[in-house]
Amino acid sequence: MFSDRLNPKVSVSVVFVAAMFMAIMDATIVNVALPSIGRDFGVAADEVDAIVTGFLVSLAVFIPASGWLGDRFGTKRIFLVAIVVFTAASALCGLAQSLDQLIGFRILQGIGGGMLTPVGMAMLFRTFPPEERVRASSILVVPTAFAPAIGPVLGGLLVTDVSWRWVFYVNVPIGVAAFVFGALFVPEYRSAAPGRFDRLGFVLAGVGFGGLMYALSEGPSHGWTSPEIIGVGLAGAVLLALLTRVELRARQPMIHLRLLAERLFRTTTVVMFLGTAAFLGTLYLAALYFQDGLGTSALVSGLSTFPEALGVQVGAQIATRVYPVVGPRRQISTGLVGVAVTMVLLAFTGHGDLWWIRGIMVLLGMSMAQVFVPSQAAAFAQISSADTGQASTLFNAARQMGSALGVAILSSVIAAIGVVHLGSGGHPTSQLSAYHWAFATAAGLALIAAAVAQRINDADAAPTMRRRSRAVH
């Protein structure tokens, strides 16, 4: 067996980073291509948004089922299936001859993406013992930081010099390589007692999460008072409330909500929900700020956002060394305060030197690394190996909803203030105060997350700090 010839820590890390990089980059690289896609198919901007919304809703529908699927059929098998679905759908998106076809293939992409992240994280944390979780978390940072940052840069180059279709084709070689490597070298894991498939839980979770994701994605553009947004959002919330009641009573639930009774897992999940809302909302906002506010090109915008990824990489190296010494509570809280400070600096930045702003982006990434690494390392400290798949599903569902919430809130702030005002002579000019208030709002979200992080008990995370703490003493 090839899987016996390579350390599983290496093989799982390699295939996880490659697959996650492909999936996460897809979200930002496609945004750059939307105007070109609209022109090619001759449709309005609001119709093209369905390309993004369809993917996000499909993602939300299939995340809840990922934990059970991995436990029932094997995490390796489901992860490889997810890679195949995502990669094939990417190729089909590039071949699409109409907007309807493209939206359909994006929904298919979302099915694969919805299984990739939770199952991949479960594989990673089952491979690394608790005392090495901080090392595994530093691996998770690679796709999380680099993929969203490189997407706009690569997307701008592909759309400008080749075709929008290549923002989808670029996934194919990555997906094929990840599949071949994973099939050869990644070991299998299958739960001894996965339980029966919870059909009612799947329907409630899928439709509920999908409805909320749709409302959050479309609310800023349709208006929060739109009957459609109110109806879909309320329906999603009601279904999730019903899901909670049903799953807590079920003998074999689709989503093990009782895992949230474990205080460290619950607190870190809430911190990641709020922290992701602030961070990814800011990355989305920064792209608009550079292009629409400061008038830069898409390429310059991407290059100005990219320093954040470098900051995360440097910060992750620091975080792995600091974590066993100070513990997750102080490290996460300090990191989130640092995130808030960088966002305040962005809020008070006008038409200043782009290099100053890029420096702030580096600090943002370094600060966020002090949140990503310890949160992911500590979250599963009290979770058994058997429950890791289900815990990963909850953790990633919260992070995905946090991302959508952050974008929705910050988009609503700039829409409420207005990004354009009439300057001297009646000519429309950019109103930077809209972006500044949005950055300030993101800082507020980060500070709320910091307050929640104060509830973390470092003693609960002791299993993840054991090896390094002994080395220090």
Q: Could you give the residue range(s) of every CATH 1.20.1250.20 domain in the chain?
A: 1-197, 261-473
pTM confidence score: 0.83
* Tens of each residue's pLDDT in the chain, 473 residues: 555 567 888 888 889 888 888 888 887 788 778 878 888 888 876 678 788 888 888 888 888 888 888 888 888 999 999 999 999 999 999 999 999 999 999 999 999 988 888 888 888 888 888 888 788 788 777 777 778 778 878 887 888 788 889 999 999 999 999 999 999 998 887 776 667 888 888 889 889 988 988 898 888 878 888 999 999 999 999 999 999 998 888 877 878 888 888 999 999 999 999 999 999 888 888 877 887 778 777 778 778 888 888 898 899 889 988 999 999 999 999 999 999 999 999 888 766 678 888 899 999 999 999 998 899 889 888 888 888 888 888 888 888 888 888 888 888 888 888 766 555 555 566 677 888 899 999 999 999 999 999 999 999 998 888 654 443 33
Note the pLDDT of residue 469.
41
Q: How many CB atoms lie within 10 A of CB 339?
A: 29
Note the pLDDT of residue 351.
60
CA 240 from chain center: how many Å?
Answer: 21
Going 162 to 20 to 411 to 404, the CA torsion angle's sign is positive
**CA–CA separation, 153 and 306 (whole Å):** 8
pLDDT tens digits, 237-270 = 999 999 999 888 887 787 888 888 899 999 999 9
Tokens coding 411: 């988009």
Note the pLDDT of residue 330.
95
Note the pLDDT of residue 473.
38
Q: How many CB atoms lie within 10 A of CB 406?
A: 27
Q: What is the fold, at CATH topology level, of the domain defined by 261-473?
A: Growth Hormone; Chain: A; (1.20.1250)
Note the pLDDT of residue 423.
55
HEC string for the chain: CHHHCCCHHHHHHHHHHHHHHHHHHHHHHHHHHHHHHHHHHCCCHHHHCHHHHHHHHHHHHHHHHHHHHHHHHCHHHHHHHHHHHHHHHHHHHHHCCCHHHHHHHHHHHHHHHHHHHHHHHHHHHHHCCHHHHHHHHHHHHHHHHHHHHHHHHHHHHHHHHCCCCHHHHCHHHHHHHHHHHHHHHCCCCCCCCCCCCCHHHHHHHHHHHHHHHHHHHHHHHHCCCCHHHHHHHHHHHHHHHHHHHHHHHCCCCCCCHHHHHCHHHHHHHHHHHHHHHHHHHHHHHHHHHHHHHCCCCHHHHHHHHCHHHHHHHHHHHHHHHHHHHHCHHHHHHHHHHHHHHHHHHHHCCCCCCHHHHHHHHHHHHHHHHHHHHHHHHHHCCCCCCCCHHHHHHHHHHHHHHHHHHHHHHHHHHHHHHCCEEECHHHCEEECHHHHHHHHHHHHHHHHHHHHHHCCCCHHHHHHHCHHHHHHHC
**CA–CA separation, 74 and 94 (whole Å):** 31
Note the pLDDT of residue 126.
85
Note the pLDDT of residue 468.
46
Query: What distances in angstroms separate CA 291 from CA 171, 287, 365, one per listed residue?
Result: 26, 6, 21
Can you say whether residue 189 is alpha, beta or left, with left for phi > 0 and alpha for psi between -120 and 50 degrees? beta
Question: Measured in Å, how far apart are the chain's first and last C-alpha atoms?
Answer: 41
How is domain 1-197 classified at the architecture level of CATH?
Up-down Bundle (1.20)
pLDDT tens digits, 206-239 = 899 889 888 988 888 788 889 999 999 999 999 9
Site of tokens 């590039």? 94
CB burial class (10 A; 0-12, 13-18, 19+) of residue 321? exposed
